[in-house]
């Protein structure tokens, strides 16, 4: 059984196997209504697969499962579909076990006490981690959408009296015009807020000062495949220490990208960035995670952390993003999307310049 959640959230395993991205947000249930924002794929060892969706349905022209059924009470429909398989006992592997609503988990175990429900997430993840040629093309398109948004945001920042909100609006419009399906958010943090890895709301009415650093982050999809690109902006002549922090992060990102080679480990990539930070007085302010995989979901494995011995393989697509966040001063983030090649360094698919100050 494969569990998927809304298109902007955690639909990767489900979308990979069915091409269905649940279109509705997860929502509270009511009498006769359950599972909104979810979908379930049943893959029996014999017989045809069954895709169960909520009442917002699906696009039959693109979904790859012939037996697709929409239900208001999606949890009850799933229980009935499993019951119809007539399994007296045995094991059911669940991909996306961490997405399974607790109420549904309880109902499954109560109704089928002789079935063992096991975590099978690694089974699908092993296929998804290496991107096929078509997937890589879609991720290149995604990176171009992010680049269009970032460059429009950078131009908007240069306008006198620009607010964070104006910068975000320009970036969102440009990314959508470039072909993005949707923008999950366009985060704009300026001045002292640039040291915030995340903040609610993503962009405020705050005026961007002429001598301030601005950290932006755009996340969205192109034909279902995700983009995630950070950049650091500044007016010409950005003063220290904001300039020094931005230059350190740029160098750390470039060194980490260079280390992204087939056969290298995640720890080696993280180490390449750590060495750069270690030469500065800001070493203790580096982020714990320096990147992640990307594909049908924004954040996929592996996480880039010191000590992780995951080996990079051709076809992996990664976001490399060493960051610095210095409280009271500011921060910087520069993120590159890369494809691991069979030989040599990676293909950098992010078209946006790394130095925008």
Q: Is the pLDDT confidence value at 19 over 90? A: yes
The CATH code belonging to domain 131-348 is: 3.90.230.10
- pLDDT higher at 260 or 87: 260
The mean predicted confidence, pLDDT, of the chain is: 95
The DSSP code sequence of 120-152 is -HHHHHHHHHSPPHHHHHHHHHHHHHHHHHHHH
Please, where are the H alpha helices in 47-180? Answer: 74-84, 102-111, 121-129, 133-157, 164-177
Nearest to residue 340, comparing CAs of 119, 130, 65? 130
- pLDDT higher at 87 or 177: 177
Q: What is the pLDDT of residues 137-171, one digit of tens each?
A: 999 999 999 999 999 999 999 998 999 999 999 99
> H/E element holding 251?
helix 242-258
pLDDT at res. 328: 87
Percent of the chain surpassing pLDDT 90: 90
* pTM of the predicted model as reported, rounded to 2 decimal places: 0.95
Helix (H, G, I), strand (E, B) or coil at 29: coil
Pairing mode, strands 300-303 and 317-320: unpaired
Q: Is the pLDDT confidence value at 287 over 90? A: no
Class of domain 2-128: alpha beta
Distances (CA, A) of 145 to 32, 43, 116, 172: 40, 35, 44, 10
Mean pLDDT of 18-24: 96
Pairing mode, strands 115-119 and 90-94: parallel
Q: Is the pLDDT confidence value at 65 over 90? A: yes
Mean pLDDT of 75-79: 97
Portions of the chain given CATH number 3.40.350.10: 2-128
CB 312 within 8 A of CB 260: yes
Partnered with residue 51 across adjacent β-strands are: 41, 68
Question: CA-CA distance, 308 to 206, in Å (whole number)?
Answer: 39
192 confidence band (pLDDT: 50, 70, 90): very high
pLDDT at res. 236: 84
pLDDT at res. 142: 98
- pLDDT higher at 58 or 315: 315
pLDDT at res. 57: 85
289 confidence band (pLDDT: 50, 70, 90): confident
Mean pLDDT of 69-94: 94
Mean pLDDT of 282-294: 91
Q: What is the pLDDT of residues 94-136, one digit of tens each?
A: 999 999 999 999 999 999 999 999 999 999 998 999 999 999 9
Question: CA-CA distance, 353 to 189, in Å (whole number)?
Answer: 19
356 confidence band (pLDDT: 50, 70, 90): very high
Helix (H, G, I), strand (E, B) or coil at 336: strand
Strand order in the sheet with 336-339: 300-303, 291-293, 317-320, 336-339, 347-348
pLDDT at res. 96: 96
Q: What is the pLDDT of residues 218-275, one digit of tens each?
A: 999 999 999 999 999 998 878 899 999 999 999 999 999 999 999 999 999 999 999 9
Q: Is the pLDDT confidence value at 45 over 90? A: no
Portions of the chain given CATH number 3.90.230.10: 131-348
Residue tagged 């904001």 (tokens): 242
């Amino acid at each position: 059984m494969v569990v998927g959640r809304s298109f902007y959230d955690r639909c990767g395993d489900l979308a990979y196997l069915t091409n269905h991205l649940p279109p509705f947000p997860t929502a509270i249930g009511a009498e006769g209504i359950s599972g909104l924002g979810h979908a379930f794929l049943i893959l029996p060892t014999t017989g045809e697969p069954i895709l169960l969706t909520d009442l917002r349905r699906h696009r039959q022209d693109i979904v790859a499962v012939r037996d697709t059924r929409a239900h208001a009470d999606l949890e009850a429909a799933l229980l009935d579909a499993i019951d119809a398989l007539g399994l007296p006992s045995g094991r059911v592997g669940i991909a996306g076990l961490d997405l399974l609503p607790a109420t549904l988990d309880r109902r499954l175990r109560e109704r089928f006490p002789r079935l063992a429900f096991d975590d099978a997430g690694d089974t699908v993840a092993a296929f998804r981690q290496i991107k096929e040629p078509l997937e890589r093309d879609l991720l290149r398109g995604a990176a171009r959408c992010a680049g269009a948004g970032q460059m429009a945001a950078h131009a908007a920042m240069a306008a006198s009296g620009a607010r964070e909100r104006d910068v975000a609006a320009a970036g969102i419009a440009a990314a959508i015009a470039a072909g993005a399906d949707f923008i999950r958010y366009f985060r704009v943090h300026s001045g002292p807020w640039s040291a915030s890895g995340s903040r609610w709301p993503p962009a405020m009415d705050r005026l961007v000062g002429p001598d301030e650093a601005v950290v932006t982050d755009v996340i969205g999809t192109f034909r279902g495949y995700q983009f995630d690109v950070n950049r650091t902006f500044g007016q010409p002549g950005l003063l220290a220490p904001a300039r020094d922090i931005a230059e350190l992060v740029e160098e750390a990102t470039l060194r980490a990208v260079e280390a992204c080679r087939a056969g290298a480990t995640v720890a080696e990539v993280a180490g390449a960035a750590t060495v750069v930070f270690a030469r500065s007085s800001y070493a203790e302010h580096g982020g714990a995670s320096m990147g992640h995989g990307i594909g049908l979901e924004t954040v996929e494995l592996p996480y880039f952390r010191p000590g992780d011995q995951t080996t990079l393989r051709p076809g992996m697509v990664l976001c490399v993003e060493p960051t610095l966040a210095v409280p009271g001063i500011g921060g910087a983030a520069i993120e590159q999307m890369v494809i691991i090649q069979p030989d040599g360094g990676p293909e950098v698919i992010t078209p946006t310049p790394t130095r925008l100050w």
